Structures are given as structure tokens and as C-alpha cells.
Amino acid sequence: MIRWVVVIFLGLTVFYPILPFMARLGVGRLPGDVLFKLRGVILCLPFGSTLLWTVLAFLIARFVHVS
């Protein structure tokens, strides 16, 4: 359990600094992405974008890996 908390924390630590760059690629604008303001800080939870990028990475991996 603690391992997943550490993985999520590290992922968010890496993800938030590159969020402005990723916004140009459409992250945070898809249905299913949650964007809210908390105490003056804008937080983005890109559930829909994550799903889309995961499917895209899976398809690329399928085409690259030829059995």
C-alpha cells in the first residue's frame, strides 16, 4: 500500500512542473479531466487524458513489438 502512495507522489511531483507544456498537447481539456482551484492553486487531475495517452502508448508498443 505504501509503495503505491510513493509511486503516486513521485508521479505527481514529476507531472506538475511539465503541466504547462502538456497543456499545449491537450492534457486537461478532455472530458474526464478534473481542473479545480484550491486556495489559489490550480490543480489538474487528468483522468481522461491519462486514459488517452495510455491507449496511445499501448498501440505504439503493439506496432513496435513484432512477434
pTM for this model (two decimals):
0.56
Q: Which domain holds residue 56?
A: 2-64
Q: What's the pLDDT tens digit per position in 11-40? A: 777 777 777 777 777 666 778 888 888 888
Tell me how many domains the chain contains: 1
Can you give the pLDDT at residue 64? 87
Can you give the pLDDT at residue 41? 81
Q: Measured between alpha carbons, how far is residue 8 from residues 20, 34, 53, 59, 61 in Å?
A: 20, 17, 17, 24, 23
Instruction: Report the run of H or E that residue 34 belongs to, with start and end.
Output: strand 33-38
Tell me which of 34 and 66 has the higher pLDDT.
Answer: 34
Q: What percent of the chain has pLDDT over 90?
A: 0
